[in-house]
């Protein structure tokens, strides 16, 4: 990559790529001194979507210790791929 001129001081840099976890780093840059920054992005954990709707108001969904309100409008949750225990109550 080609060098980029940046004003001195604390600067925040972020790297993103589809299918990977974003990474952020902060560097204290000094005038006239080159700095090198490398990112090693980790692959994102595959996820699935759980989509639920209740036929009554006031229903709740418990997944992994979190509680969500359910109603007649669909609720969509992104969950890591794998087995999950969940409870629905009305």
What confidence tens digit (pLDDT) does each residue in 62-87 have? 998 899 999 888 899 988 888 889 99
Please state the pTM of the whole predicted model: 0.49
Residues 3 and 26 in one domain: yes
In which domain, by residue range, is 20 found? 1-44
85 plus 51 within the same structural domain: yes
pLDDT score recorded for residue 23: 95
Same domain? 33 vs 58: no
Is the pLDDT at 22 greater than 80? The verdict is yes
70 and 59 in a common domain: yes
Q: What is the pLDDT of residues 28-67, one digit of tens each?
A: 999 999 999 999 999 888 888 889 999 988 899 999 889 9
Quick one: 1 and 37 in the same domain? yes
State the total domains in the chain. Answer: 2
C-alpha span between 71 and 4 (Å, rounded)? 52
Whether residues 2 and 39 share a domain: the answer is yes
Residues 34 and 59 in one domain: no
Which residues contact residue 60 at a Cβ distance below 8 angstroms, ignoring those fewer than 6 apart?
67, 68, 69, 70, 88, 89, 90
């Amino acid at each position: 990559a080609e060098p980029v001129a940046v004003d001195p001081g604390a600067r925040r840099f972020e790297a993103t790529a589809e299918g990977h976890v974003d990474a952020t780093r902060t560097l204290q840059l000094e005038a006239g001194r080159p700095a090198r920054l490398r990112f090693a992005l980790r692959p994102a954990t595959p996820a699935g979507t759980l989509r639920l709707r209740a036929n009554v108001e006031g229903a709740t969904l418990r997944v992994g210790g979190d509680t969500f309100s359910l109603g007649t409008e669909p609720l969509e949750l992104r969950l890591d791929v794998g087995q999950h225990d969940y409870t629905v109550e009305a």
